């Protein structure tokens, strides 16, 4: 079968490892195998409609497509519109998401591994910059292998202060392209006993550091032994007011926690980024649902990024499930995508290749959905504030009304 570039990639003769039956994404598998009418109907249900239409693709400059061809990364671009308003101008923001695999084996010298990731990312960030991206977000702990499966402490050497080399590397791009950049790193807090955090640094479009947010919920599932390395974050639910809009970051496992999403919404977020690192066997069926649900429930956009590839570590580890020791986490399935508050979403980036997803979004859509569905207005927060206040007390008793005939035998 024919081979096309990127969003148009058709099934390849030999199925690439970790593809979906030879395709980069479910969207492309369906597109290639359904007749156009069926595909349109399936897409209407799977990815929704934005302002009554299928989400539109947008053309990117030749410089960006040339970089994607030269460096072999997936490049896709879409646009969400909002209804025209009489009193507000449209507020269109261009968002870029980067997913990538590591660049060198995990056995290489740590300094070389980090440098190689920087080099690998340069053309992808350049493509984002030359595409006019306003806010760029990288995946969770993008500057290192996701070594938290191993429980070995030597990987802590990758940790950096908020103003460390990874931030400095990105600050130059922020300045060059007038871009806000969200950079999720393994942070070492020099001023507080050199402790380690999982942190997103928000770099402003002038190359300044606007602030940071530390991961609120730390996984204890499968091989995700992150609690061996860092504690639950202490930065609350900050929303960063940038020149391009109000943004927040819900780091990876936080996406399973509806109250985490809610708190960013209550603080006024218009786009919540979800930089992640998660593997197919554990979470792939959840991936297309949770972020999309959060976007709908909280009337904001959600931008979800997952890393790519299989990372093999020098020493095998066990998962506490009685299965044999192994040296990799499983496959990080990429599939980054954007969800809108009106229940539409973009198709995903590749399941196995590096990629850049560029998405235009008119932030006016957030308030339009609040006005239409009234989720904030009907939320009854005081009801839940009361339940939660009682629940967190040791003497809490669940509100259960037991059927007095529960134990009576059926006659």
156 annotated active-site: no
Burial (0-12, 13-18, 19+ Cβ within 10 Å), 305: buried
Q: Are 355 and 74 in contact (CB under 8 A)?
A: yes
Q: How far is the CB of 160 from ligand URP (least distance, A)?
A: 18
Minimum distance from CB of 276 to ligand URP (Å)? 6
Give the contacts of 43 (CB within 8 A, at least 6 positions apart): 27, 30, 54
Are 160 and 134 in contact, with CB atoms under 8 Å apart?
no
Q: Respond yes or no: is residue 41 known to be catalytic.
A: no
Alpha-carbon gap, residue 138 to 97, rounded angstroms: 6
Residue 131 contacts by C-beta under 8 Å, 6 or more apart in sequence? 60, 61, 64, 77, 94, 96, 356, 358
CA gap 46, 304 in Å, rounded: 17
Q: H or E segment at 294?
A: helix 287-298
263 binds ligand URP (CB under 6 A): no
Q: Say whether residue 290 binds ligand URP (CB under 6 A).
A: no
For ligand URP, which stretch binds (CB under 6 A), given 76-84, 274-282, 327-335, 378-386? 274-282
What residues have CB less than 8 Å from 263, skipping those under 6 apart? 236, 237
From 114, 126, 160, 252, the catalytic residue: 252
Q: Per the structure block, which two tokens stand in for 57?
A: 């693709």
362 binds ligand URP (CB under 6 A): no
Of the candidates 96, 381, 185, the residue with the CA atom closest to the CA atom of residue 265:
381
Separation of alpha carbons 55 and 343, rounded Å: 11
- Which C-beta is closer to ligand URP: that of 134 or that of 283? 283
- The residue (of 173 and 273) whose beta carbon lies closer to ligand URP is 273
Considering the complex, state which of residue 254 and residue 341 has its C-beta at the smaller distance from ligand URP: 254
Q: How many residues appear in the chain?
A: 411
Instruction: Decide if residue 142 touches ligand URP (CB under 6 A).
Output: no
Closest distance of CB 242 from ligand URP, Å:
25
The catalytically annotated residue of 11, 31, 212, 215 is 215
Using CB under 6 A as the binding rule, whether residue 278 contacts ligand URP is answered as yes
Window of 81-89, 228-236, 273-281, 297-305 that interacts with ligand URP by CB under 6 A: 273-281
Q: Which is nearer to ligand URP, 80 or 146 (CB)?
A: 146
List the interface residues with ligand URP, window 195-224 (CB under 6 A). 219, 224
**Between 43 and 274, whose beta carbon lies closer to ligand URP?**
274
Respond yes or no: is residue 122 known to be catalytic: no
Instruction: Draw the binding track, 81-120, toward ligand URP (x: CB under 6 A; -: no contact).
Output: ----------------------------------------
Residue 306: CB minimum distance to ligand URP, A: 9
Q: In the complex with ligand URP, which residue's Cβ is closer, 274 or 364?
A: 274
Cα–Cα dist 212/193, whole Å: 18
282 near ligand URP (CB under 6 A): yes
- Token couple for 7: 């969003």
Residues noted as catalytic: 140, 215, 252
Give the footprint of ligand URP on this chain (CB under 6 A): 140, 219, 224, 252-253, 276-278, 282-283
């Amino acid at each position: 079968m024919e081979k096309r570039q990127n969003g148009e990639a058709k099934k390849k003769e030999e199925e690439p490892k970790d593809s979906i039956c030879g395709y980069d994404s479910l969207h492309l598998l369906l597109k290639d195998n359904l007749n156009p009418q069926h595909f349109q109907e399936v897409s209407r249900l799977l990815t929704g409609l934005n302002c009554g239409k299928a989400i539109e693709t947008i053309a990117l400059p030749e410089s960006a497509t040339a970089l994607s061809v030269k460096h072999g990364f997936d490049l896709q671009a879409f646009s969400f519109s909002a209804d025209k308003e009489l009193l507000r101008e449209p507020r269109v923001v261009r968002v870029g998401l980067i997913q990538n695999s590591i660049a060198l084996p995990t056995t290489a010298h740590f300094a070389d591994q980090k440098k190689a990731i920087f080099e690998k990312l340069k053309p992808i960030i350049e493509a984002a910059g030359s595409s006019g991206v306003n806010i760029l977000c990288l995946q969770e702990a993008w500057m290192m292998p996701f070594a938290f499966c191993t429980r070995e402490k030597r990987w802590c050497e990758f940790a950096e202060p908020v103003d460390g080399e990874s931030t400095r590397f990105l600050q130059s791009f922020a300045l060059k392209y007038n871009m806000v950049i969200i950079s999720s790193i393994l942070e070492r807090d020099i001023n507080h006993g050199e402790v380690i955090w999982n942190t997103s640094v928000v770099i402003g479009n002038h190359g300044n550091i606007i602030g940071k947010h530390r991961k609120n919920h730390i996984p204890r599932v499968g091989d995700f032994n992150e609690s061996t390395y860092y504690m639950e974050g202490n930065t609350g639910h900050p929303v960063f007011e940038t020149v391009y809009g109000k943004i927040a970051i819900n780091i990876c496992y936080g996406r399973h926690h509806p109250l985490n999403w809610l708190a960013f919404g209550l603080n006024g977020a218009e786009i919540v980024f979800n930089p992640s690192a998660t593997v197919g066997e554990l979470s792939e069926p959840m991936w297309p649902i949770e972020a999309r649900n959060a976007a709908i429930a909280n009337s904001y956009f959600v931008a979800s990024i997952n890393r790519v590839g299989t990372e093999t570590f020098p020493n095998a580890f066990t998962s506490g499930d009685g299965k044999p020791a192994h040296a990799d986490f499983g496959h990080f399935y990429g599939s980054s995508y954007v969800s809108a508050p009106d229940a539409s979403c973009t198709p995903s980036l590749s399941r196995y290749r590096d990629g850049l997803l560029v998405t235009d979004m008119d932030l006016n859509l957030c308030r339009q959905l609040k006005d239409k569905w009234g989720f904030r207005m009907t939320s009854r927060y005081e009801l839940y504030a009361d339940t939660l206040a009682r629940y967190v007390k040791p003497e809490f008793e669940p509100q259960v009304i037991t059927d007095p005939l529960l134990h009576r035998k059926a006659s």
